[in-house]
Amino acid sequence: MITFTVNGTQRSVTSDPDTPLLYVLRDELELNGAKFGCGLGQCGACTVLVDGEAVFSCITPVMLLEGRSVRTVEGLGTVDEPGPLQASFIAEQAAQCGYCIAGMMMRAQELLERIPDPDDDDILAALEPQLCRCGTHMRVIRAVKRAAQALAQAQALAQASEGAR
């Protein structure tokens, strides 16, 4: 049995230790946001965060996750209450077919956690491993910038309310 944290909840899985994380997430834990694209770690549709770092879940054996923390697109928010990044992707209509979007969001989340106010070059570099054939790249860039602004505003409000106490 392998135990790790997924979206803030400790989970134990019984999959073979060599099983790719993608299959464990989808088949055993029923988290279907990460998609199978190439199975070779080349397209990014399967991207999740492991201890805050973007990884290709299709080539990451679950045995490497013992005691670690995994965050999937489901961990960013819900349908009823989307997180800032999800809300920004919706507002900018950044998804076309949607197949690559979960992976793009996870790379963007990693970027925003490292660089709260990224410029276009930062965003392009962060999303470079992600393949998308729909051509919504400019909308994705706008969505990441919008999310950065929303997060900055939320942080400013939180600091203001702390100062008022």
Per-residue pLDDT of the chain (165 residues; tens, 9 = 90+): 999 999 999 999 999 999 999 999 999 999 999 999 999 999 999 999 999 999 999 999 999 999 999 999 999 999 999 999 999 999 999 988 888 999 999 999 999 999 999 999 999 999 999 988 888 889 999 999 999 999 999 888 888 887 776
- Which domains does the chain show, CATH number per domain? 2-164 (3.10.20.30)
In sequence order, which residues have a C-beta less than 8 Å from that of residue 156 and are 6 or more positions away? none
Total H helices, total E strands in the chain: 5, 5
pLDDT at 159: 85
Question: Which of 139, 83, 105, 97 has its CA nearest to residue 34?
Answer: 105
Element at 154 (helix H, strand E)? helix 137-164
The pTM of the whole model exceeds 0.85: yes
In sequence order, which residues have a C-beta less than 8 Å from that of residue 54 and are 6 or more positions away? 47, 48, 106, 107, 110, 129
pLDDT at 158: 85
Structure tokens at 52: 């805050």
